[in-house]
Structure 1
Amino acid sequence: MMSLSSKIKSLPIAKVFSKDKLVASPFLNKIGIQPFRLWLANKRYHDKQYLVDSSVVNQVDQLMKDGIILVENFMSDSEFAAITKECRSFIDSDSFETSKKVGSNTIYNQSIENMDKTVYPTTTGLLNHPLLLKLFSAADKRELDPTKGDIIILIQYLVQGDGEDLDIESELHVDTFFNTYKAWLYLDDVRLENGPFSYVKGSHTNLNKDRYNNVYHYSLQKDVSGSRRVSKNEVDDLGLQETTVLCKKNTLAMANTFGFHRRLQGVNGNDRLTIAITAKRSPF
């Protein structure tokens, strides 16, 4: 039998201080490494100081409070008309880099970084969009550079299926163990029929004893993904409520996906075109 000192020497310590959702070590998980990672990552995040641009102070304050904001009329009318035309043209070209089934639904993704800037100038121009960069840098509390992979921007086209097979994204979950941000610029009106985003406001700050216990017990399970599923009881125990994001096109929804969220199942045959933006750098 391996001694305790031998076990410690063989531990995947590098994984502890990574952005990996879980550490693949039964021993480390048994001694509580996942709640420790959650505590440490959140402490480091909240200890950081960052000078927020005055033009987005109110929006960032709201994001820190609720975990989600909606920015209506994100682009000018002419810019929005141009990006919608470009993205619809791209759909017609049937050139998406990836497509996958998620339950009964199908989602198509295309990185705008790999698109022809002369053909899709407004879409690729999002890599340098001032308001987008200000919001993400303020939320992440460090200067982010999309050209260096700090922010990933995709055209995302979601087609609703019949709902017979579960879309795992329709279950409440947290993306990972640290504060991290996603945003969606909707090129269509968001309705119940086309699979809206849903968020539990305030769930990004509730680090009570029960949450640490839930994280600990989840880390001990076998064959689980790093995105912990959240029960309705956990939401009710916190006294929080889920909010479904129904909004007009040209709205940017930005959320801290350390909070509880999901994408609702829509109605068969409906679709939704979105620009999806993600910032996921290591919390350490």
Structure 2
Amino acid sequence: MALLRWWRAPLWLLALGTGAKSFADNPLIGSERLNRRGLHARRVKLAHRLARSRRRRLAAAVPADWRERFDRDGFVAVPDFLPAGQFAALRDSLLTASLPAREQQQGDTLTRRVPIGPALRRRFPALDELLDDPRWRGLLAYVASTTSEPFYYVQTVSAGAAQGEPDPQIELHSDTFHPSMKAWLFLTDVAEESAPLTYVAGSHRADGRRLAWEQARSLGIRNADRLSQRGSLRVGESELSALGLPRPTRFAVPANTLVVIDTYGFHARGPSPQPSVRVEIWAFARRSPFLPWTGLDLFSKGPFRRRRAPLLMGLLDRLDRLGLARQHWRESGDKRPLDP
């Protein structure tokens, strides 16, 4: 059976030039022999060099203090991001609306998402105004190191809302080996006990200590946990000091705070000692890390630009029906974001 897999060898080789990250699914990425010779560390190093180059070309659209904070910490937190009236209109209209939702359970946490497409933007003018705000677009593009349109969702995180093992997202981790972006504009206050986002400041930098850690993890990946084997490396808080990193920052913040992070940095969903709910506008961007240009993305143009999230959900549904991929997000009917 092992021999039958090798017809895919050309695909595995081509994947080295993309954002493919799974040590388990690609024998070249997971090869101890190749990683001992520096394959994984070199992919990390090159991806970060190209991201720095792209960010330099995107810097002019971002206020200097935001850039400085991001370059130092790997995140930017902006309180009172929207004018009070615009935020109130956005929050009140979305929190009271019944929207076609998808849900996924991870451990004891239930996440609900509503993909944002043209119909939702027409229905909620304050949402449309936010997503076209030059400050929003400039900052998200800088952190993502690309002008490719992010995927946008209305997201509800209900921690402790289901029976199950502990949520795997409460473990500090890096999403992938290269810079990418996630953003949260919180529509509700986030309390300390409401599973706040946590982030290790400075962990977005691929410096010497981090590269040595990446190299060591790539060599011992066969003995690692399942999510690390799939390319989302887990790290213990006890390891942070050896990497020259501080304890994580917890974003227990009021509503109307925007937080944007580079998900190469170590981050997690904070633990919730009791059931809790938070609602946010959530954005995500991850493009192939080895492209030197900032744009030239067909799917960020014309009719595709505002349909990215609904189109992705539809594609995953189709692949699931064909047995080619698993759709983790299941339809849950029309619901308001704060519905149990």
Q: TM-score, normalized by length of structure 2?
A: 0.73
1:57 aligns with 2:64: yes
Distance between the aligned counterparts of 2:105 and 2:280, measured in 1?
A: 17
Distance between the aligned counterparts of 1:27 and 1:116, measured in 2?
A: 42
- The residue type paired with residue 190 of structure 1 is V
Q: Is the 8 A contact 2:13 2:28 kept in 1?
A: no
Q: CA deviation at 1:51?
A: 4.8
- The residue type paired with residue 49 of structure 2 is K
1:154 maps to which residue?
Answer: 153
2:215 maps to which residue?
Answer: 213
Please give the root-mean-square deviation of Cα atoms over the aligned residues, in Å: 2.5
Distance between the aligned counterparts of 1:26 and 1:103, measured in 2?
A: 29
- The residue type paired with residue 246 of structure 1 is A
Q: Is the 8 A contact 1:42 1:179 kept in 2?
A: yes
Aligned mate of 1:77, from 84, 88, 99: 84
Secondary structure class of the residue paired with 2:88: helix
- The residue type paired with residue 78 of structure 2 is V
Structure 1 residue runs of 5 or longer lacking an equivalent are none
Aligned mate of 1:106, from 98, 106, 110: 110
- The residue type paired with residue 95 of structure 1 is P
CA spacing shift, 1:254–1:55, aligned 2, 3 Å: closer
- The residue type paired with residue 186 of structure 1 is F
Secondary structure class of the residue paired with 2:100: coil
Q: Is the 8 A contact 2:145 2:180 kept in 1?
A: no
CA spacing shift, 1:9–1:256, aligned 2, 3 Å: closer
Q: CA deviation at 1:188?
A: 1.1
2:46 maps to which residue?
Answer: 40
1:226 aligns with 2:231: yes
CA spacing shift, 1:122–1:206, aligned 2, 3 Å: same
1:282 maps to which residue?
Answer: 288
Structure 1 stretches (4+) deviating beyond 4 angstroms?
6-11, 218-223
Q: CA deviation at 1:134?
A: 1.0
Q: Is the 8 A contact 1:160 1:269 kept in 2?
A: yes
Q: CA deviation at 1:140?
A: 3.4
Q: TM-score, normalized by length of structure 1?
A: 0.86
CA spacing shift, 1:7–1:37, aligned 2, 3 Å: farther
Distance between the aligned counterparts of 1:54 and 1:18, measured in 2?
A: 27
Distance between the aligned counterparts of 1:117 and 1:7, measured in 2?
A: 45
Q: Is the 8 A contact 1:26 1:220 kept in 2?
A: no
Q: Which moved more, 1:61-70 or 1:213-222?
A: 213-222
1:271 maps to which residue?
Answer: 277
> For 1:173-206, what per-residue CA distance to the aligned partner results, in whole angstroms no more than 9, with x for missing partners?
0000011111110111111221100111011114
- Aligned-residue identity in percent: 25
CA spacing shift, 1:218–1:175, aligned 2, 3 Å: farther
> For 1:134-185, what per-residue CA distance to the aligned partner results, in whole angstroms no more than 9, with x for missing partners?
112223344x25xxxx211110011121686210110000000011111110
1:120 maps to which residue?
Answer: 124
Q: What is the count of residue pairs matched by the alignment?
A: 272
Distance between the aligned counterparts of 1:110 and 1:9, measured in 2?
A: 38
Aligned mate of 1:254, from 260, 264, 268: 260
CA spacing shift, 1:138–1:9, aligned 2, 3 Å: closer
Q: Which moved more, 1:12-21 or 1:124-133?
A: 124-133
1:130 aligns with 2:130: no
Distance between the aligned counterparts of 1:125 and 1:113, measured in 2?
A: 13
Q: Which moved more, 1:122-131 or 1:189-198?
A: 122-131
Q: CA deviation at 1:26?
A: 2.6
Structure 2 residue runs of 5 or longer lacking an equivalent are 291-340
Secondary structure class of the residue paired with 1:50: helix
2:326 maps to which residue?
Answer: none
Q: Is the 8 A contact 1:186 1:250 kept in 2?
A: yes
Q: Which moved more, 1:200-209 or 1:159-168?
A: 159-168
